[in-house]
Structure 1
């Protein structure tokens, strides 16, 4: 039976049966849409069978070459011996294409057999996607990394950002959260880059991987300067797919995956918890809280109510949870109009073990997305494009909130309370623990957030050849709208019970804590919304004169962003870029922007950001033409970039009203009024960076081997920071000022190799990034010792105490300096007295940890053999350390109540018996003033190597797929995050201290083309 519960405001929640019915309706509607949008046409002309063989430069057969009748959906692939067979008409054109080979076209005419040789392609014939247009790679003198969308669309993750891990030189991707549309944090040369999708600043995770045509990572100043005061941290440019002039092609893909956490903490059972609790209490000079009878009961499990032993992680979290994704694409068109359409549905199951209630409290995530990209040539001189896209998301969660549940899992020991009182349905609990974890998941209702995002991009291009050959006018407008509303059907409290048994009468008493509150029934609309509107327009010029080529553009740009009820933030200005090349041997790029924002005082709102790059391809010289070197490009660039980090209208004073603003001698009674809440800084401005980049791009061995070396040096100044000195008499904090000066430098190394070995196609790639930084100036408080200043250290260098190990005896303590005025015991951490005053205090804090930055590296492997394909991507970090502190590391926080878990790592604590092998200090209850401090004792080795993605696929031979009326049929299995090699045993090295665990995913999928 289908049940729908309503109130005067509409449907609040539905039963599971209703949800299933809605999903069926959605898929039926989707099927009808596909039937309407993509009618199939029948081939009517008479055809004949064309056969042939395709070989490479060495005359070896090439399997897997795509053979397409141009302008139709008819296609096939060569078999293991390079043979092909396809139906064609005599007027048809056969197109032969393969990655790493030059695409070749041949007209059938009256021939029925062909011998085709595909030459190795010149990788430098590709183009780089810029902010406003493209640039030939072979004449590009900047620093860029690119990847095609088809290389990332089978990764078993709902996030596009996760799919980029380990694939682009210079871009570091670290997975950060793991719920629903989870994401990765990007770091590009130590900074968070701006992401631009189809011409507007957007989140890359707002589009799915099947929509992406190409991603370019811009790193050099000449490429970045057109973005003005938002350019210094780098830019990721994402271009979505467009249609092509061919008959309609429909593709469908389906993926199903099982996901599981990469790592979960290992908390001790009740018996070991009680043993360590007694030990900690004795160390503190207190009475042991557990008797021998308690220990026996925990060990034997004879009293589940009074002495419970609950594995909360096992109770709360499922061992695996599901992930599915379905995608339909259609593309086609003719010489005048082209289209690309995409529809996708993605579902990620929740990881909580939920009960059998009629409503869903799990953290499920569901997403529908669509895209329609259309390009039309109105006439031979005018073309327009329209890109429409949308995303509809539904994120469900328990009413208590995910973070509250995960926090409870980290802070509730196994013996805190039973899940249920035996032989009852009463939730266990007590005065200290009144939030039963099972109840938090199942008895607090649910919250359901519905999110809608819409994207509109329109552009027009008009050739102005009647003025001069190569001149054109162009303009575009971009709009993004985001809106969400949350349905709350939750309750703030529920009752828990503690059972007591009278030892004489055996009578049971159930003591109640808390009350069973009513479920709320409220809709909260418009709790989050944002809009962004952008426009750019100008002139472009592209023309060649004999051996000289010029490509130039100048544009006006305007971008406005509104979020919620906050004040508008906008940028506008002009940008220009000109590129010149001589015979593809000497080339140069110059770019600038003059941009401003209302966030600064009038008269100081605009800045000028120029940059230039030059390049020289030595391989074009005659003396190297027979050397086997296909490209040897030297390049250098430099420029001034900016970044706007100021808070809104920081140049203006800020006032607020208060009921107790002033005291005018009215017997100490406060009077209402307005008072200054923040001091203005009328001189505040944007941060600036002088950036230098130099590099070498080389390709050798008939383009089989490629090597890239990049060096960059960035000097940042006018960096906003809080002044180190202030006057407390003002009663307010000083505003941020442009005081900081920093230097960042590094080297990027990349290589790729592709070769054919017999019938096997092999491709390899490796990247490494070595970055470092230095604080040139930082306005600091006066410090008593030079070793305490941050200036001169690495940016972000941690400071703390230098640990000398653990005290082993009272005699050692007696001859050592005092430490923070506390009574020390053997097993406490011993610190180094840096200033020699025989007292350990904050004056002994200094720079600790590694003085050089981590080294990031990645690699990939690709293999193809006849219909089989295999790929793998790994990434890793070396020279990295981190501090293992807080609730994730320290024992019995909050005196063992409400944050009092202990883990396996605490078993190796210091005792007189384990003094020689202990890796953890003596145990204490709550915060230990001496031990629980930032020091070198808590530094752990954060190096790791992680297999990010492994995939094995098989493509059915065209002779077989054609029999079932398909042009392509492929099945694959994929593993995401399947293996990590690290010295860490107590957490995931990629997501330290996350409340929500990262996951590994095992996927089975298929893709077909019609």
Structure 2
């Protein structure tokens, strides 16, 4: 038996010695990348399926070490050119000629007061289309630009429903203040805010980043320019689009807080170290540890008690587009709803936001050379928030023994002998104290006439544009005052002393109003504003062989009116 095992082991050893070992040899390939004009500098040459790659040098030459297999393929790419895949097939030297991607180069991009083909662009310009904006369903479309445009940064300071608009900077903060570093924002050529627009209405967003791209705007374009172009109808059959999205918002992570027993022990230790009398007696500590009297000795995690696990965000849009060679149309209506993470408790003192968007764009070809464009759009937003604007701070610093919350529908505070160390009870100062509603209504009207003058000379045209913008907001603040209650031991009411060593006792909740139940009040502030914009220009765009010529003569002006603020109280 032992001899047989030795034979098997010997044969295995001999077999392993003669098993062929496969060694993947490496080979260096070289080549040159060029186009119809000469060497291509900075082209990417990558071994397909790997991250192994190099770029071509100033002469278009490259050198790359790849696996020497028949299946190896190298991929060559460069902006504005079609990608090329080349199998090795045993070759080690290549001459690669790239072809221009005419579709990409012929694509037009919105620039200052017009459009331009990508192949003729010299300034630093980036743009995103509708699909990219819809990929991330943000309540504020400005937040969808983060990470999609090089050189653009956005800072969002709040996640409150209806207050999520970020601060946007193009190539950093170039002024002494953040307000002075904000870029100029134009919607269809008129200075407007686009943050609360429905992304389904937007055709593209273009960011002009350097001096050559923003020069026509003068000093107002010093911090960059954001151009928003809305969607318009085309000569086609009617298209109806309905889209809906529902999302869930959650708090990613809370900082863990101590329970009431740990808090009381540490606070007593602090008092002893400072030479003061302990606040929490042994009987208090015993109740906190056992948790057998949650009303007199509460242990409340206010975050769990007052904050929802998740909230809902829903966005819906219906749009219609189409037209003929004479008239083209785009009509869109949208609705957004955001629920806050703060629980309601039947008082309606929580966070909510509703937004209604509408837009109509019409293009009417009056003659073969004359086009009239009409645009009407608006936004109606209704934002609600509690009067306690420090609620999130209060949730973080309020003690777990500051109250038991709602008991039999009555808001309870904590025992009076804790008053010297209590910060505040977040439940008492939030619910029943009122809330505010901010209803903002914005409406815009555009009228744009384009006259083609090709009958005089090809490429010549004149345009006249007028816009009227109006906004009206009503802020209603409703304040209330509710009765709050403090629990007492029954023995305290009867005048007898409480035997702190006896855990077998009865207690009653004594309703004591901690304040006067004053009459509810409300206050309303009305604000209004309006402005108009006028622009006229003559432009000449012409291509002569391989040369492009563009001339623009433009005049514009705007005027703003500020209406009086009205305040009403009741």
TM-score by length of 2: 0.72
Distance 1:230 1:275 in 2: 61
Distance 1:507 1:307 in 2: 12
SS across alignment from 1:172? strand
Equivalence for 1:980? none
Distance 1:155 1:291 in 2: 55
SS across alignment from 1:456? strand
Distance 1:125 1:286 in 2: 81
2:478 to 481, 489, 511: 489
| Structure 1 residues 442 and 121, CA gap change in structure 2 (3 angstroms) | farther
Distance 2:563 2:282 in 1: 60
Equivalence for 1:553? 552
Equivalence for 1:385? 373
Equivalence for 1:456? 445
Say yes or no: does 1:371 pair with 2:353.
no
Q: Is the 8 A contact 1:149 1:209 kept in 2?
A: yes
The Cα of 1:511 is off from its aligned counterpart by 4.6
Higher RCO structure (Cα 8 Å, ≥6 apart): 1
Equivalence for 2:205? 215
Distance 2:186 2:269 in 1: 57
Q: Is the 8 A contact 1:434 1:514 kept in 2?
A: no
Q: Is the 8 A contact 1:271 1:298 kept in 2?
A: yes
Say yes or no: does 1:540 pair with 2:539.
yes
Q: Is the 8 A contact 1:166 1:173 kept in 2?
A: no
Q: Is the 8 A contact 1:173 1:184 kept in 2?
A: yes
1:147 to 111, 125, 128: 128
Equivalence for 1:645? none
Q: Is the 8 A contact 1:354 1:441 kept in 2?
A: no
SS across alignment from 2:303? helix
Equivalence for 1:160? 141
1:238 to 228, 243, 248: 228
Say yes or no: does 1:394 pair with 2:394.
no
Equivalence for 1:681? none
Counterparts of 1:555-704 in structure 2, within 5 Å, are 555-563=554-562, 565=564
Equivalence for 2:31? none
Say yes or no: does 1:416 pair with 2:402.
yes
Equivalence for 2:497? 504
RMSD: 2.8
Say yes or no: does 1:127 pair with 2:117.
no
Larger radius of gyration between Structure 1 and Structure 2: 2
The Cα of 1:154 is off from its aligned counterpart by 4.1
SS across alignment from 1:230? helix
1:162-221 Cα deviation digits (max 9, x unpaired): 211211111112332112232222222113322221112222213111011011111110
1:187 to 143, 146, 169: 169
1:50-87 Cα deviation digits (max 9, x unpaired): xxxxxxxxxxxxxxxxxxxxxxxxxxxxxxxxxxxxxx
Q: Is the 8 A contact 1:420 1:428 kept in 2?
A: no
Equivalence for 1:355? 345
Equivalence for 1:813? none
Moved more, 149-158 or 218-227: 149-158
Unmatched tracts of structure 1, length 5 or more: 1-99, 102-118, 567-1010
Distance 1:163 1:343 in 2: 20
SS across alignment from 1:353? coil
Unmatched tracts of structure 2, length 5 or more: 1-80, 83-99, 174-181, 499-505, 566-570
Equivalence for 1:524? 524
Q: Is the 8 A contact 2:399 2:423 kept in 1?
A: no
SS across alignment from 1:229? helix
Distance 2:264 2:563 in 1: 50
Distance 1:221 1:126 in 2: 23
| Structure 1 residues 523 and 499, CA gap change in structure 2 (3 angstroms) | closer
Q: Is the 8 A contact 2:398 2:424 kept in 1?
A: no
2:391 to 405, 414, 423: 405
Q: Is the 8 A contact 1:193 1:233 kept in 2?
A: yes
1:548-596 Cα deviation digits (max 9, x unpaired): 2211212112133345559xxxxxxxxxxxxxxxxxxxxxxxxxxxxxx
Q: Is the 8 A contact 2:447 2:466 kept in 1?
A: yes
Counterparts of 1:31-50 in structure 2, within 5 Å, are none
Q: Is the 8 A contact 2:379 2:441 kept in 1?
A: yes
The Cα of 1:408 is off from its aligned counterpart by 2.0
SS across alignment from 1:323? strand
Say yes or no: does 1:428 pair with 2:413.
yes
1:216-245 Cα deviation digits (max 9, x unpaired): 111110211222232111111111111111
Moved more, 440-449 or 504-513: 504-513
Distance 1:280 1:190 in 2: 47
How many residue pairs get matched? Answer: 445
1:418-440 Cα deviation digits (max 9, x unpaired): 2145x672432555669643344
SS across alignment from 2:443? strand
Q: Is the 8 A contact 1:364 1:397 kept in 2?
A: yes
| Structure 1 residues 545 and 120, CA gap change in structure 2 (3 angstroms) | closer
Equivalence for 1:513? 514
Q: Is the 8 A contact 2:410 2:484 kept in 1?
A: no
Distance 1:425 1:304 in 2: 15
SS across alignment from 1:223? helix
Equivalence for 2:69? none
SS across alignment from 1:344? strand
SS across alignment from 1:276? helix
Q: Is the 8 A contact 1:150 1:213 kept in 2?
A: no
Distance 1:556 1:284 in 2: 74
SS across alignment from 2:529? strand
